[in-house]
Each structure stands twice: as C-alpha cells, then as structure tokens.
A and B are shown apart, each in its own frame.
Chain A
Amino acid sequence: MSHYKAVNWNTPENDYAGMFWEQNLRQFWIDTEYIPSKDIDSWKSLSPELQEAYKKALGGLTLLDTIQSHTGMPKLLDHIDGLQNKAVLSFMCMMEAIHAKSYSTIFTTVNNTAEINELFEWVENNKLLQVKAATIDKYYRNLDAAKVSNEVLFMGLAASVLLESFLFYSGFFMPLWLAGQGQMVASADIIKKIVADESIHGVFVGLLAQDVYKKLPNPEKSKAELVDLLMELYENELKYTDELYTEVGLTADVKEYVRYNANKAMMNLGFEELFEIKSVNSIVLNGLNGETTQHDFFSKKSTNYEKSTEVLYLRDEDFQMDTDPVF
C-alpha cells in the first residue's frame, strides 16, 4: 500500500518554492479587473493590416497558453519531486488558464463574434502555429507514462521553458510595440500582467530543469537535444514571424526580438546565450520592464499593485512618535 503525503509548508523543500509561491500570490490578477473597452477607439483607428496582425498574435498566444494550462503544467506536475514545487506549478497552471481566457477578454471587447470565430479557425488551420504546438506537445506527451527517465523529464521541462520564455514573445511584440506608441494601451495592461507571470514561470520551471539536469549521467547529450529543439522551433518561428508581420513591416525587429528571448530561455535553463544580439527595439524592451511605472489613476488602471500577503497589526508603541512641530 502506498503512503499518501500531505504538503507540509512548515519545512522548506528547497530555497525557492516558498518564495515563488509568495510571488505568484502577490502577482495574482484576473482579466476582468482591466478595462480593454477603453481601447475601442484606438482599435478602430488601426489599419486593417495592423488589426489582422494584432488579432493573430493574440490568437497564437491563446493557443500556447491553452497547451500550457491543459497539458504542460499538469504533466510536469506529475513528475516533479516535492509537494511544494507541485503546489507552485498548480498555481501557475491556473494562471495559464486565466491568461488563455484574458486574450479573449480583449478580442471580445473589440471584435464581433464572426471575427472571433474566424480567428479561432485560423489558429486551428495555421500550419506554422500547429507545428509549434505539436513540437512542444510531443515532449509533454512523453511524460504520459507513470514513471519517466530524468532525460525525458528534463526535455519536458526544457520545452516548457522554451514555450514560456521564447515562443510567447513573437506574439507579445505586437501589443507591446503598439502600447509604447499609445495604441491599445488598456489591453496592454493585461498583456503586461501576463508577461510578468510568464517571466516567473520561465524562471521557476528553469530552476526545476536545472535541478534535474544535475542528475543526468550524460548531460551533454540532453543539452544537444535541447539546442536542436530550440533551433527547430527557431526556424519555425522565423516563418511564423514572416507570416504575421511582413505586411506591417516589422519582421526584422520581431526576429531580433525572438533571438533575444531565445537567449533568455537558454539562460533560464542555466546555459549560455546562443545568438548574438545587435539591437532590440527599445520600445518593446522597455515595455517588458516590469518595474514600477507612474500613471494617472484617472486615465488608466495601474499594473503595479499586488495582493498583500502579509497583514501585520498595530501595537501600542506604534502610536508613540516624535511629533514635535518643526518650527
């Protein structure tokens, strides 16, 4: 008979699970807090080409988040040691579902039902997008077995990091680039919350992958496999970028950005960078910066506030202060 264990948060399992749990909680948000309806006028002012690219970018992102919440996270969770790590992954899994829904919160605000249906059909039928999904899914499906080797687990984790830290960004480029120039700004608030989440997901899963990597008898082989996978996805990503961005003239910028994020994914996995980066579009790069920004509360909602996870009460001494008048 097997013994079932309860998750014990009293004893830290590792240096980081507790911290990521806290950070995830603080970052918690839901799509309906934001007000994309403010973007309706902006949307109407965009050229049809930009609208098309924007929709498709978000459609592609929806697919990736769907895979991540329905397959990626649950499969990884099954094979990861440590109940606290599992708890963190399951929280992230829920957030991925919220992400997948929140792209729709943007479409449903600016598009009609026919356009939305058409977009989802495009997602299902677009070869490059499907290749992207199938490639990642293959590594997740390898985790179907009850017990898997560390090599298989590592590749599953690595695929997840590639998805979170690398593949998302060809899609994120569009909303960040527009928002930096004053278009679709309210919707970008949602995108920025997603970016902030994906960045901690990438780091966390990356740390899990590094732990597994250390246990591999023949790590170089797995690393080679990872680089092959990345290059395969990269080739596909270039074509996908051509398809989405050629008409709006942003292909070169997006490709540089894709390489930049491929490097980030490698770094999250503990490896050196693969590509040489010349210059990434500053507008988009600055848009990624999760640091606190200034805003006017009347014109937009802030993305700066977080759940307060710790509530401390007042004591008598808190009322004793030096309050002598200055003059």
Chain B
Amino acid sequence: MVTKKWILLNNEIMIKKDDEFSLHKDKEAVRSYFLDYVNKNTVFFYTLKEKIDYLIEQEYYVDFYQWYTFEQMEEVYDLVYEKKFRFQSFMSAFKFFQSYALRDDSGEKFLERYEDRVVAVSLFLARGDVAQAKSYAEMLINQEYQPATPTFLNSGKKRSGELVSCFLDEIGDNLNGIGYAIDSAMKLSSIGGGVSFNLSKIRARGESIKDVEGRAGGVLPIMKILEDTFSYANQLGQRPGAGAVYLNVFHTDIEEFLDCKKINVDEKVRIKSLSIGVVVPDKFMELAEKDEACYLFHPHTVLKQYGKYLDEMDMDEMYEELVTNPLVKKKKVNARHLMVKIAQTQKESGYPYLFFKGNANRSHALKEIGNVKFSNLCTEIMQISEVSDIEIYGKEDKIRYGISCNLGSLNIATVMDNKRIKEAVKTAMRSLTVVSDMTNIAMVPSVQKANKELHSVGLGAMNLHGFLAKNFIMYESKEALDFCNVFFMMVNFYSIQSSMEIAKEKNETFVGFEASEYANGNYFASYVAQDIVPLNDKIAVLFEGMTIPSAADWTALSNEVKENGLYHAYRLAIAPNQSTSYIMNATASVMPVVDVIEVREYGDSTTYYPMPYLDNDNYFFYKSAYDMDQKNVLRLISVIQKHVDQGISTILHTNTKDSTRDIAKYYIYAHKMGLKSLYYTRTRKASIDECVSCSV
C-alpha cells in the first residue's frame, strides 16, 4: 500500500503559504483522483446501448425497457451529459464514488459516473414518463435538488435497499409492545432506515408488574436491547444501523436516561451508539422559569389512575392534578438543576436532543387529529403518532400510526441562481411523492399505515450559508433573516400548491384532511393577512426575475386547497444532510459552516473540505458557527421555522469555555423563539497551545 496521491494532495490544502491555505491543491486532488483512480477503475463501454443492456442483463439495473425505448433513454442521457458536469471539490467527487456510484459485484470497478446515477434516478422515479424523467434529470444535474441518500443511492438498482430513510414509532408498555418495537427496529434497520422510538410510555424502574411493586426494569434495559439490535441489523454491512430514543422529561427515569452517556458508568447501563432525546413540554420550561418544585411521575401509576398515558396528557392542564393525587407516585427535583444536567450531558457527549412539545403542537396542522409526541434521529420530523395495541398470536392487533418519511433538499444557491424556486419545489415534491407512493413497508404495519394514509414527505434545503457568503451577506445579519423569510415562504407556498395539484390529479387527499387546519383555513391566516416581501434592497435584487406570492395569491391558494385538499399530511422538514451536501458542493442544511476548511471524519475517511465558493474575497463571510452568538443562529432558525410545517435540525455550536449555564440559556431562548427542537450540541475544544499561551 502506497500513500494515495489524491489523499495526500487533499491533505496538503492545509499547508499555509503567506497565511493562505493552499486551496489550489484541492483541484489537483480532484484531477489526481480521476486520473489515478476513478478512470482506471471504471468499466468501459463502447456505446450507450451496450452499457444499458449490460447493466440490465447483469441485474445491476431494473429493466428500464419496461418503461422506455432505448431512444427515449438516450434523450435523457444526452440531456445530462451535455451539461458537462464537473465536481467542484475533492470531497464531492470522493464522497460520490466512495458511497453512491454503482460498483460491479466484486466491489472493485465503477459502473457509473455521476451523470449515470442522475439518469438512473430520473428514469426510475419517472416510471415511463419521458418528459417527467427529463425534468427530474435537469433538476438533478443542475444540482438544484438532492434526494436523501436512500433514494439517490438505491433508485434504479435491481438489488437494493428501500428508498425511504426515516421511521418512527411508539412503544407500548407491555411485552408485546416492546417485542413489536424490537422486531420493527431490526427490520427497519436492515433496510437502511434510521429509527426513532418514544419510550415515554414505558413504566419506570421500580414500578409494579402485575401489581407486584418494585419489579419493572425501566427504560434503560430496553435501550440496551435496541442499541444491540441496531448494531446487529446493519444494511448488509454497508453502514451501521442507527437509532434514537426519546423520553419525556417528566418520566421518573429521566436522570438515569441522561446518565447513560456518562463516560464511566457500568457497561449494562451505558449507551454508546444509540442517540437520545428528551421530550420537553412547556410546563417544564415554566417550572424552571418560576423556579418552582418540579415533580417527575411514575408513568404506570398515572396510567392506572387516569387510564391515559402520562406522555399523552396536556401537562399544562394535568400537572397540578398529578401532583395532588396521592396515588400517583412521584419524585421531587429542581427543574433548573435538571436543565443544567441536560446541558452538562450535552457538553460531555453532544446528547440529548431536545424536542419542545408545546412549540411543535401549537402550529401543528393536524392538531384536531392528534399530537406530535416526539421526533426522529435528526429532530426534523414532527408528525402524529399513536401507540398500537399488539396482541398475542391469534388475536388481532390494533395498528395505529407510526411514522415514515422520505426526505430531500433544495440547493438554495443553485435554485436562486437559476431563478427556479417554483419549478424546483414542484419537481422535488413530485419526486418525493413518487417515493412515498412506491414505498410499502409491509413488515412494520404501523409504518405502512402511516405512509399509505398520510403520504408524508420532507422537503428541506441546503447551502444557505454558501449562498449568503457568495453574495457577501453575513449569516448573522438582518439581510439573512429577510432572505430566509421570503425564500422559505415561497418554498412553503409552492409545496402546498404542488400537494394540492397532486391531490386534484389523483383525486385523493391524505386521510383526515377535512379535520386539518388546511381545510378550515387557519393555517393560511397569517399569510392571507399580509404580504411577505423583501424589506432590504439587496435581498430584493436576489429575487428579481421570480414572482413572489402575495397575500392575494395565498388567499387563492387557500381556496383551492379547501376545494381539492392536499395529498401530503406533512410536506417540509429541514434535515441536517451531511453526505448529500458534500456531493452538491454545498454547505450543510441551513446551519452556519464550522470552518473555512472543514475537517471531516467519517467512519471511513478523513477529508479536508474547503467551503463552497470560498476565495480570498469572500473569506470573511465564512464566519465559523463556533464564533457566532448562538442566539443569532436560533433567531434565523425561528424565522425559517414559521414557514416549515415540520421541524429543522438545529445544531448548537459551543466552545469549551461555555458553561452549562450558557448552554441552558440557549435552550430557554430556543424555546421562547418557538423552535421545535434542538439537535446536537457540538463543542469546539480549547487546544493546549491556547491554554498554555494564555496562562504560562
């Protein structure tokens, strides 16, 4: 094994000359990667026909001839190859070939280039509609939209996993329910999904089983089993299984739950790879603010008293009642201390996620149908869920809503440059809809039911910081807030319009539409009341050439929705999108960048990634998230959140010197600003040079 030249070149970016990084080395790395590696390892075909036939005959591709003639396919290939696509950074090329390009069965030779993947995805999703295939292909090769990994990776392949990536479900408080969850975890994980469970209904450690006190093991043992289940059921060994669990902050196991990430804790209760999240109702924030005594409850005693799960109660309404009922077992804690404990756990491990239940439900469009109770592995999915009743063999289960969601992201910079917000949103919604319609997870009926009835998708966005920097706008500025307000309003508008059009075409709405806030018009109230337009001239210029929907347009849309319904119960969700943003040469999600050159550790590589569009003129605009006041970031997210029906993965970037109190203040701020969740907290370490230089 010799040192790989392209990796060396990529590493050499970090060599500083005259105080500037050697950015040109990245282009050399891309060149070397192609010349010395990719081209040498790509199977060569004389003609397109030969290639397509080979891939189909050898069972790499599905039989595209069932939908298209060769000439039709050729048109799509031509359209894509004419664009002369080139990777803009080593990271983009490397990530694509490493993780997405189709390889032969030996795993050694590439059978696809980027263009081929784009065509395969387009042909597959268009199901024989050539015009549709072309519009997908154009959007993808322009890099205006990027489907989530499972869709981009698996579409068109004969032997492949599912196209959907994200599943959630409740766990019932009995062995059948727990068994169902573990079984689902294994199956969903094996097809490549990230799975999240709500543990809040599980009885706490020391509660009764069959009325014998002190027998229940609490949530930790279940977490341990789930963790092992995920690590066992990986996707053909291609990537490790991933899962998350959420627990309500009022559950008495909460402290133990937070401690599972501690460094030196007994192996039986230590959780290494499972992600954890805390469900935080408004009541908890209120108790902390007023500094009043906070009681945690034994959920099983609550269920026995009220016939209702603690997790499903409106705590604003029920808290006092639970506190005064002597038959509900409880434990007194200090809410502020518990909040600081969460902050401390985040400082040490990045976890837990926070899900602000009140905020998520206040604006929930299906609030008359049910509540959003928890979130997913990346804290952007927020949909109704209800626990299923799983029976013994021979008796029929009562299956209720799990959650299934497929995701994709717009590339803000390219859709803005091409002035194609409307077209890109609509085409993206189409492609997400196809994926939802094609998906049928029969092995987990609660997930299947949700997908079949609700058709949920999650359209997000990436490259916000890249776009702003490219246009010399600071991420923390007023202009950025102004831009996001208009941009995401438009995304919301066109996604609703698209969903309405699809409902009209199919003559089908999601189940429960009539009871939704869309049907009664409440959802549109703020849009109908007032025009949303750019307030700043500089931002107005960016939108020139596109029509910005007015209040009147919203009124018209509201009426059309009332008449035709919506096909999707949920439409928008902004995912953290990491790998996919690299391929797009974009900054991830709507988050600020962490560095001008990102050092990226993956399970399988370390790569240096200069931020998109970075040069000596705009260097200043790539301010690191770690150097920003996090309140500015949270404020920006709060603006975007108003236009997004589900959630936004929001990462806090802190420094070693930030105290637990500083971090807890961000929670308070995020909650007050209406954010629905907080994802990881990342910490920038103080290096030893820094500490030695300031004190010795």
Complex partner residue of B603 from A186, A203, A313, CB under 8 angstroms: A186
In the complex, whether A275 has a CB less than 8 A from a CB of chain B is no
* Chain B residues in 8 Å Cβ range of A290: 685, 687-688
Taking a contact as CB atoms under 8 Å apart, the answer to whether B603 and A291 are in contact is no
B185 contacts partner chain A, Cβ-Cβ < 8 Å = no
Across the interface, B672 reaches (CB within 8 A) one of A46, A253, A304, A321, namely A321
Which of B194, B350, B598 is close to A305, meaning CB atoms less than 8 Å apart?
A: B350
Q: How far is the CA of A203 from the CA of B272 in the complex (A)?
A: 32
19 contacts between A and B (CB under 8 A): A19-B695, A46-B1, A177-B3, A248-B1, A249-B2, A283-B8, A286-B608, A291-B685, A292-B594, A293-B599, A295-B600, A298-B240, A305-B683, A307-B263, A308-B347, A312-B661, A314-B661, A325-B638, A327-B642
A50 within 8 Å of B by Cβ? yes
Contact of A298 with B242 in the complex, beta carbons under 8 Å: yes
Q: CB distance A314 to B4 under 8 Å?
A: no
When distances are taken between beta carbons in the complex, the residues of chain B under 8 Å from A296 are 578-579, 602-603
Contact A30 B264 (CB under 8 A): yes
A286 / chain B contacts, CB cutoff of 8 Å? 11, 14, 599, 606, 608
Task: Judge whether B11 and A282 touch: CB under 8 Å.
Answer: yes
A203 to B668, CA, bound (A): 40
Any chain B CB within 8 A of the CB of A274? no
Does B688 lie within 8 Å of A253, measured CB to CB? Answer: no
Of B377, B656, B672, the most chain A CB neighbours within 10 A belong to B656
Q: How far is A194 from B594 in the complex, measured between Cα atoms in Å?
A: 25
**A327 contacts B601, CB within 8 Å?**
no
Of the listed stretches B53-61, B246-254, B336-344, B440-448, name the one at the interface; the rest are far from the partner chain.
B336-344
Whether the pair B485, A16 counts as a contact (CB closer than 8 A) is no
* CA A38 to CA B672, docked complex, whole Å: 41
Within 8 A of B (CB), among A20-66: 23, 26, 28-30, 32-33, 35, 38, 41, 46-47, 50
Known: A287-B606, A327-B639. A306 touches B656 (CB 8 A): yes
Hey, which chain A residues are within 8 Å of B349, CB to CB? 305
A224 surroundings in chain B (CB, below 8 A): none
Q: Are B272 and A314 in contact (CB under 8 A)?
A: no
- Asked whether B237 lies within 8 Å of A180 as measured between CB atoms, the reply is no
The answer for the CA separation of A306 and B263 in the assembled complex, in Å, is 10
What is the interface residue range for chain A against chain B? Answer: 35 or more
Q: From residue 325 to 339 of chain B, which have CB atoms closer than 8 A to chain A? A: 336-337, 339
B38 within 8 A of partner (CB): no
A316 at the interface (CB under 8 A from B): yes
Q: Kindly list chain A residues whose C-beta atoms are within 8 Å of the C-beta of B340.
A: 311-314
A residues touching B (Cβ–Cβ < 8 Å)?
15-16, 19, 23, 26, 28-30, 32-33, 35, 38, 41, 46-47, 50, 177, 179-182, 185-186, 199-200, 203, 207, 248-250, 253, 281-283, 285-287, 289-302, 304-308, 310-316, 318-319, 321, 323, 325-327
User: Would you call B669 and A294 a contact (CB within 8 A)?
Assistant: no
**Interface of chain B residues 263 through 278 with chain A (CB within 8 A):** 263-264, 267, 272-273, 275
Q: Does B202 contact A (CB under 8 A)?
A: no
In the complex, whether B12 has a CB less than 8 A from a CB of chain A is: yes
Are B669 and A297 touching (Cβ within 8 A)? no
Q: Are B344 and A311 in contact (CB under 8 A)?
A: yes
Is there an interface contact between A302 and B350, defined as CB atoms closer than 8 Å? yes
B288: contacting residue among A47, A287, A314, CB under 8 A: A314
Q: By DSSP majority rule, is chain B's interface helix, strand, loop, or mixed?
A: mixed
Contact of A326 among B578, B606, B635 (CB under 8 A): B635
Contacts A253-B3, A308-B344 hold; do A199 and B661 have CB atoms under 8 A apart?
no
* Secondary structure dominating the interface of A: loop
Residues of B within 8 A of A47 (CB): 1
The 10 tightest CB contacts between A and B, nearest first, are A299-B603, A282-B11, A312-B661, A182-B605, A298-B242, A323-B672, A308-B347, A312-B659, A293-B599, A319-B289
With known contacts A306-B656, A312-B340, A326–B288 Cβ distance under 8 A:
no
Q: Is the CB of B602 within 8 A of A300?
A: yes
Give Cα A46–Cα B1 distance, bound, in whole angstroms: 9
Contact partners of B78 in chain A: CB under 8 A: none
Q: B368 at interface (Cβ–Cβ under 8 A)? A: no
Docked pose: A311 CA to B3 CA in angstroms = 45
Asked if B541 is at the interface (CB within 8 A of a chain A CB), the reply is no
Taking CB as reference atom, which chain B residue is nearest A192? B601
- Tell me the minimal C-beta distance from B582 to chain A in angstroms: 11
What is the minimal beta-carbon distance from B376 to any residue of chain A, in angstroms?
A: 12
Known: A203-B692, A290-B685. A305 touches B347 (CB 8 A): yes
B8 touches A29 (CB 8 A): no
A295 and B604 contact, CB distance less than 8 A: no
Q: How far is the CB of B286 from chain A (nearest CB, A)?
A: 10
Which residues between 528 and 563 of chain B lie within 8 Å of chain A, taking CB atoms? 532
Other-chain contact of B240, A15, A38, A307 (Cβ < 8 Å): A38
Interface size on B, residues (CB 8 A): 79
Are B275 and A297 touching (Cβ within 8 A)? yes
With A47-B1, A286-B14 already in contact, the answer to whether A23 and B687 are too (CB < 8 A) is no
Partner of A294, one of B3, B598, B683: B598
Quick check: is B665 within 8 A (CB to CB) of the other chain?
A: yes
Q: Which residues of A contact B157 (CB under 8 A)?
A: none
Contact B685 A41 (CB under 8 A): no
- Contacts A15-B695, A282-B11; A29 near B237 (Cβ below 8 A): no
A271–B578 alpha-carbon span in the complex (Å) = 45
Contact of B673 with A by CB under 8 A: yes
> Does B15 touch A at the CB level, under 8 Å?
yes
Give the complex CA separation of A169 and B630 in angstroms: 39
Q: Which residues of A contact B674 (CB under 8 A)?
A: 325
Report yes or no: B684 in contact with A292, Cβ–Cβ below 8 A.
Answer: yes
Contacts of B662 in A (CB 8 A): 312
Complex CA gap A19/B692 in Å reads: 8
Contact B348 A305 (CB under 8 A): yes
B7 at the interface (CB under 8 A from A): yes
Say how far A164's CB is from chain B's closest CB, in angstroms: 13
Bound-complex Cα distance A302 to B603 (A)? 10
B665: nearest residue on chain A (CB-CB)?
A: A318
Identify the closest chain B residue to A176 (Cβ): B606
Min C-beta distance of B694 to chain A, whole Å: 9
Give the distance to chain A from B477, nearest Cβ to Cβ, in Å: 12
- Rounded to whole Å, the gap between the CB of A159 and the closest CB of chain B is 22
B602 and A295 form a contact (CB under 8 A) = yes
A293 to B: closest C-beta gap in Å:
4
Query: Do B683 and A301 touch (CB < 8 A)?
Result: no
CB distance from B98 to the nearest CB of A (A): 8
Whether the pair B377, A298 counts as a contact (CB closer than 8 A) is: yes
Contact B336 A313 (CB under 8 A): yes
Q: Shortest CB–CB separation between residue A73 and chain B, in angstroms? A: 19
Contact of B7 (CB < 8 Å), options: A180, A186, A250, A301: A180
- Residue among A181, A291, A306, A310 making CB contact with B4, cutoff 8 Å: A181
Asked if residues B600 and A30 are in contact (CB atoms below 8 Å), the reply is no
Report which of A15, A287, A326 forms a contact with B639, defined as CB distance below 8 A.
Answer: A326
Query: When chains A and B are docked, how far (Å) is the Cα of A327 from the Cα of B350?
Result: 31
The residue from A23, A293, A295 contacting B688, defined by CB atoms under 8 A apart: A23
Q: Is the CB of B599 within 8 A of A16?
A: no
Give the nearest-CB partner of B349 in chain A: A305
Given contacts A299-B240, A308-B344, contact A185 B604 (CB under 8 A): yes
For B377, give the chain A residue with the smallest CB separation: A298
B263 touches A185 (CB 8 A): no
CB neighbours (8 Å) of B377 from chain A are 298
B291 at the interface (CB under 8 A from A): yes
Q: Which residue from chain B places its CB closest to the CB of A16 in the assembled complex?
A: B696
User: Is B450 close to A, CB under 8 A?
Assistant: no
In the bound assembly, the distance between CA atoms of A285 and B267 in angstroms comes to 35
Of B264, B660, B665, the residue contacting A310 (CB under 8 A) is B660
Closest to A22 in B: B691
Residues of A within 8 A of B672 (CB): 321, 323
Residue of B nearest to A300 (CB): B603
Q: Given the complex, which residues of B lie within 8 Å of A302, measured CB to CB?
A: 350
Of the listed residues B598, B608, B665, the one surrounded by the most CB atoms of chain A closer than 10 A to its CB is: B665
Q: Determine whether the beta carbon of A313 is less than 8 Å from that of B337.
A: yes
Q: Does B481 contact A (CB under 8 A)?
A: yes
Give the Cβ gap from B16 to chain A, nearest Cβ, in Å.
Answer: 12
